[in-house]
Structure 1
């Protein structure tokens, strides 16, 4: 009983830490998961390609939750392989959870039977249970699972809306890592009025402005530099710190972002030019 799936990374329009309302959009690079189930296996064992010491509790719990709901007590293995740097603000955990949930459903022959929103909620439940998220990250999970741009109420795991956005996207990932579960939530809550303004802008379709206001506010709250956002602004439609950092994402026309790339290339880490992704997670 084998299954395989992939789910994309995502960037931030609105960080949900301040109010529980968040917004994110899918980016065109993936986490893939391969799941093998066996009725005789005792429990679930996870591995991450290239990271033998990585914590695999999240993906193991994803497999277990899917089996509890749709299987018959099977155990087995899950292996993930990521183009998304871990602990970088690019929703690698949400993408890994989504890919694992879909791969497990695929192994059970149920991938076409489960609503994609509900499949994302399984990964969110696993993330909460294993402590990898503060908010539950349904905004990140929904964007990765459904593709396009989503806004959610993470306190109720409710999808408020989804839109299809077609942008080029420039992503700078510094070499350091930042775990979202370690973010200073109290400092983020102090900027709730700005987060509410960002939500209003995004609801009105002003995604680029929403991103930029979010980025400046949360960079200050989380004590990251705002210079990368300011450097991008003459060219990009919007730019933001992604999640709780340390990555930054700028969006707009590809030729405009080519003007930003050499500015960000001066920083340590990696800079990649990609696009938004509309298909979301899928079996492969």
Structure 2
């Protein structure tokens, strides 16, 4: 009655806060979850973070058990290589990993499509108030791999595509929680978000994310300088989510100067790649 799963983090192509349309791409960094069924309560923990908010992972497991299991409790633990509240979709990845690990523990992995499994995690995120948009864009990219474009108001998948990029991520020391974002201010850049959506739906993801980055950096009062530094070398660069992380994509050799420049900034630089397999049991 135990289950384990992992789900990748993701970077932003289009922030959904302005219009409800969003787009994200999976990267090769993971949140892993372990679920052990038993007892009468659902208790969550985050490895190495004793005071972490565990409501999302507990609710994710609870929704799966309510739908596919009997009345029972569970012990849920996540272990993440992805910094929390960094704009890299750690919450979506955690929810996805817990949903799949719980299904694995119940022997019910074949009972639901991965797309619908992502919707369970989105429902949990809404229930506990950790998302302003529902984040189906982030959840679908993490669950399915590749790049997705979604209507977050309807939890509808518009496009799922595969991309093959090297990726550089810079994460400053501070945190930014999506639920705290100024949604009304983000709606001011809706015309730019519509343009980004058109570009993404046309497969021009690198240009889309760059336009998104400058529009939402302004709306969210985040600096544009890291993107300006990366632009000459990157095929695309953006503020990821509501920040504070930035993602640059392209060819590894061409991105090397981006690594050098961003390493001069406080925080952490990660060199990784896109991921096309999505989430799954381990």
TM-aligned CA deviation for residue 43 of structure 1: 1.6
Structure 2 Cα separation of the partners of residues 76 and 13 of structure 1: 36
Superposed CA offset, 1:88-109 (max 9, x none): 0000000000000000000000
Quote the residue 2:175 is aligned against.
Answer: 177
Structure 2 Cα separation of the partners of residues 74 and 106 of structure 1: 15
Quote the residue 1:228 is aligned against.
Answer: 226
Structure 1 Cα separation of the partners of residues 219 and 89 of structure 2: 19
Quote the residue 1:253 is aligned against.
Answer: 251
Does the residue aligned with 1:279 lie in a helix, a strand or coil?
Answer: coil
Does the residue aligned with 2:109 lie in a helix, a strand or coil?
Answer: coil
Quote the residue 2:117 is aligned against.
Answer: 119
- Alignment partner of 1:152 out of 142, 150, 153: 150
Quote the residue 1:46 is aligned against.
Answer: 44
The runs of 5 or more residues in structure 1 that have no matched partner are: none
Structure 1 Cα separation of the partners of residues 146 and 204 of structure 2: 15
TM-aligned CA deviation for residue 112 of structure 1: 2.5
1:8 partnered with 2:8: yes
1:263 partnered with 2:261: yes
Detail structure 1 runs of 4+ shifted over 3 Å in the superposition.
Answer: none
Superposed CA offset, 1:31-71 (max 9, x none): 00000001xx1120000001000000000000100001000
Matched ranges for 1:53-64 at <5 A: 53-64=51-62
Does the residue aligned with 1:156 lie in a helix, a strand or coil?
Answer: coil
Does the residue aligned with 1:178 lie in a helix, a strand or coil?
Answer: coil
TM-aligned CA deviation for residue 2 of structure 1: 0.2
TM-aligned CA deviation for residue 113 of structure 1: 2.6
Instruction: Single out whichever of 256-265 and 90-99 deviates more from structure 2.
Output: 256-265
TM-aligned CA deviation for residue 114 of structure 1: 1.3
1:276 partnered with 2:270: no
Structure 2 Cα separation of the partners of residues 89 and 30 of structure 1: 14
Quote the residue 2:241 is aligned against.
Answer: 243
Does the residue aligned with 1:112 lie in a helix, a strand or coil?
Answer: helix
The runs of 5 or more residues in structure 2 that have no matched partner are: none
Quote the residue 1:216 is aligned against.
Answer: 214
Please give the TM-score of this superposition, normalised by the length of structure 1.
Answer: 0.99
Give the paired residue count: 282
Structure 2 Cα separation of the partners of residues 75 and 257 of structure 1: 47
Structure 2 Cα separation of the partners of residues 16 and 187 of structure 1: 13
Does the residue aligned with 2:111 lie in a helix, a strand or coil?
Answer: coil
Quote the residue 1:100 is aligned against.
Answer: 98
Matched ranges for 1:177-216 at <5 A: 177-216=175-214
